[in-house]
Structure 1
Amino acid sequence: MNNSATIYALCKKYTDLTDLDIKKVMEVSKSLEIMAEFYESDVFIDVMSRDNDIAIVVCEAKPSSGKSVYNSSVVGEKALRKNEPGALRTLKTGVPSRDIRAMTQEDRFVKQKVFPITNEKKVVGVIIVEKDISDEIKEEFSIGNLSPLKQKNISHQFMTAINSNQIINNNLGDAILIFDKEGFLRIKNVKADTYYSNIGYMDDIQGIHYDNLSLDNTTFDQVVYSYDGNIVEQSEKNEVKVGKYYFVIKKIIMKERDLKLAMIISDITEIKNKEAEIISKSVAIREIHHRVKNNLQTVASLLRIQSRRCTSEEAKINLQESVSRILAIAATHEILSKQISDLISITNVINSIMLNIKRCFNNASKQIEINLVGEDFYIDSDRATAIALIINELIQNCYDHAFEDMTEGEIEILIEGDEDYKIIAVIDNGKGFNVEEENIDSLGLSIVKSYVKDKLIGNINIYSDGKGTKVILDFPLFK
């Protein structure tokens, strides 16, 4: 059974997705192998089953590098909320999830990036990119102040707690402190050392009693005896401010013989600071961007009127391309007119470009699918405008040349990178061309190369053959 047939059969068996929803999932699955190679990781598509706490794996792709986490296929397997919280969260909310800890069907710890698949603004599935981190988790925690035999016993109990998900996997990136039945700290991770050092604890906190580490003025007895002995995660998150830092604290009672209480601390200082920064900005900035956007749209309207009056087909095409470029610039100003921060969501920009291109180059005889997959990031408005123009030219070039003799085609836009460096790839399955004989005088290509070099301080690489063209941009996030 091929991928499409398998996806259709599994969706019909386990979900309430419509045929159009399933078709969208099947379309995205065609680019799964490209993504597996691009990310050098296992990539999957999950869909929500009729049981809202269970997802079903309907498609998978493994990298050719041999870095797969899996020994066998997991297509048709169930993904549970307690094991893969990120996948279920994105399926429910449509919000991408980044660096979420999860446990595979083969009981290995992985870090996941999860991106939604949407059809008519409805989330119909998710793309999951996974990286093995089992060894990282074991090295992240320290146990001390006990005899070797006691350390070994507690270490075993702690790993059992992780493997049974008593400690929620997606919290492992936060500070985790584990206290014994007397209230003394026995296990801590590196984040715990960092957080407590930041707020003024000069010495090693290993072995210190909970009452001296509590950030919300609770005592060990108050916490432990407020539960009935069952493993129950505290339903209300407790937000506290310590100095210039903001934290959210959650507590879990443990049933292990020597371990009693887990405290998970999330640092939300950056979020709080950004909220304060947004509030302090002037609303007048949004009004300026709103007016610029309106003026650009007026210019675009005038060019459309001029285009309709032209008798020259070449002039009409050139005016149409100019309209597309002006709207690409207007897209960033439209986004800025609705927010105060100068940082712009790059996925919002690209989605606006995709819509503009479809409006400007609508052709009933060609069915061109454009899919955007990747992790969103924010960038200043000047370079966001440069990226908007670059993506506009690349997609426009696909419409003009890649599918010239074809009735249908696909364009994939992939975003990847880390906190310092970003990569954007535009990939089509068109007819391709000879890169050595490319038209270096093309205005569109000149715009792309100029903006990548001068505005993004980055690089551009173009690869093409009879199966399509791949354009990869890489650039630093900060100048």
Structure 2
Amino acid sequence: MSTLRDLVEEHTSLAPEDIEHLHRLAGDWQIVSDLSFADLLMWVPIADRGEFLCVAQVRPTTAPTAYQDDQVGRVSGGPEVAHLAIVRSQGRIWREGDPVWYGDMPARHEAIPVRRRGESQVIAVVGRDTNLSTARTPAQLELNYLTTADDLAQMIADGTFPPPRHPGETTSAPRIGDGLVRLDASGKVTYASPNAQSAYRRLGLAAHLVGESLAEITGRLVDDPLEGKDATDRVHSALRGDAPARKELEARGATVLMRALPLMPAGVPIGALVLVRDITEVRRRDRQLMTKDATIREIHHRVKNNLQTVAALLRLQARRVGVPAARHALEESVRRVASIALVHETLSMSASDTADEAVEFDGIVDRVAAAAVEVAASDFTVALRREGDFGVLPAEIATPLVMVLNELLQNAVEHAFEPSGEGGERTGAPEVVVSVHRFRKQLHVTVADNGRGLPDTFDLDNSERLGLQIVRTLATGELRGTIELRSRAEGGTEAVMVVPLAKR
């Protein structure tokens, strides 16, 4: 299914700012649909054809839909869109049609012109189509909803709805069903839905909202006086015609999300629409997750500290050992422990929003590579670079993978460039390249050098070197992947590893 932008750009010549306005409208018009008890369809004219194309649709959550099938992408012409053509040419809201029938379902059509603020050109038409088969009794809630919907419809025609989006706000929550309060021009409550009344009861209000000044009540209820003043200012701002950012209100252990929208049909401020939602349980779960996340990060921090202590003890022991082979073995153990500590250090500093712990692996690889080059005991410098990105990896993959890479890099910088009578001579300056890419839920990693290559008799499976045994065991066991060490045709050695990324 094509997106709104794709359809508009393909079939119209609307300017980018017009398309952006249509995007913002489609992101905020669920409010109008719910208040209207009607489907909203966004139509754009197809140039020189007398036809209209539906580029967006939203169904009400407060009433049955008028369309069981999706209408986006549908092209209509002739008498079926005569009301859309009238709205486009006359620039006014159209409501005078008789009900139409879709099979055995009656529906009422209305149409609203869409303009940008300060512009006279109609850039699109919003069809407001109501399913009349289950028409609601016009009680107090329905009348207030429909009246507010008409005010917002006029603001769409004026170009003052939707309001500008504030940084960081990606949705229009709370919604109509969460709680609605309508204010008159003086800020007094003229209507409060049952859910809105319940939300304010959670904040500690014992009386009814109707007839009260919402700004004063809200400022009194909020625990923090400064936060209360901020909430009061936002309600007053909406009454003046502005659209302030959403605000969380906290009182008596409850949390309520508030959004205030100005009501100014035809440019005249007549009050405000305030949407509220009780998010007490949502915030309680958020706090629990934050506490859990902090605990996990503290555990990783302590594990990292313990591993670094172990590495320090091994380093001290290595300095006291007089046998070169034993000293070398202890130094290798220090590097292995330190590489694992790097993963836990990264996990301790990350704040994961998911249940699965994950780390940015590129920084870890770069630090392990730098350490391998620093400790290389040689009379020449080995250049080491990375091609591609590992990205974010789960901890269960990151820990064994960093150990494998540590061994491969250490082998490359220490042994690939040693003078030897076996194998070929290296070509060019000493260099080790770590290449990585993802393909079909697999991680393909290559560690290549331009050194002297492998002996003709080399066999990874039968190698008695501890480092290569660690590499083989972790690659095929912990990582459930494959690894191959081979000589390169252009000289040197490469280790090719494939690691599946599927959930363990």
In terms of fraction of residues, the more strand-rich structure is 1
Q: Normalising to structure 2: TM-score of the pair?
A: 0.46
Q: Normalising to structure 1: TM-score of the pair?
A: 0.48
Greater gyration radius: 2
